[in-house]
Amino acid sequence: MRELNMIVVHCSATPPRMDIGAKEIRSWHVKGNGWKDIGYHIVVRRDGTVEFGRPISQVGAHARGYNAHSIGVCWVGGVNEDMDPENNMTEIQEEELWCVIDNLINVYDIPKENVVGHRDLPEVTKSCPSFDVKEWINGKD
């Protein structure tokens, strides 16, 4: 097993009307980007369903320079109908996202301060995951 010390939270950058999951994102990443698999390890759908993508034992393709030691978690949504950043998580989706992250923290002994949004990484100019992960995590104490 690879050494893990970070969780990077992403959004799919899809509007609320698009109820997609790991299957669709895998297709975008494989067919659209030419990658060998979906870049994320876990996807949380709008109805709270948790779907698994790339095996956690494998290096992801979700945060350049951080993939080797991180787990990529993606929630479906993150933009409004005009494609502007928006935290439009459903209540159940937010609950399940927290359950996933809390479980990963405990299973892989990852410090809470090492749970970040994609936008929090150096040189990232995206607004992904469309909310302040640090503030959200700190509110879970």
What pLDDT, on a 0 to 100 scale, did the predictor assign at position 1?
A: 74
Q: What is the mean pLDDT of each run of 10 residues along the chain (141 residues)?
A: 94 96 96 94 98 97 96 98 97 98 97 97 95 93 66
Q: Are 137 and 27 in contact (CB under 8 A)?
A: no
Quick check: is 29 in a domain?
Answer: yes
What pLDDT, on a 0 to 100 scale, did the predictor assign at position 106?
A: 97
Q: Domain of 132?
A: 6-138
Could you give the CA distance from residue 42 to residue 114 in angstroms, rounded to a whole number? 17
What pLDDT, on a 0 to 100 scale, did the predictor assign at position 141?
A: 66
**What's the number of domains the chain is made of?**
1
Reported as half-sphere exposure (CB side, CA atoms, 13 A), residue 92 has a value of: 6
What pLDDT, on a 0 to 100 scale, did the predictor assign at position 140?
A: 80
Quick check: is 75 in a domain?
Answer: yes
Quick check: is 116 in a domain?
Answer: yes
Quick check: is 110 in a domain?
Answer: yes
Could you give the CA distance from residue 111 to residue 92 in angstroms, rounded to a whole number? 24
Residue 46: closest CA among 21, 71, 66, 64: 21
Quick check: is 44 in a domain?
Answer: yes
Quick check: is 15 in a domain?
Answer: yes
* CATH code for the domain in which residue 68 is found: 3.40.80.10
Can you give the pTM of this predicted structure?
0.96
Quick check: is 1 in a domain?
Answer: no
Q: How confident is the model over 86-95, as pLDDT tens digits?
A: 999 999 999 9
Quick check: is 23 in a domain?
Answer: yes
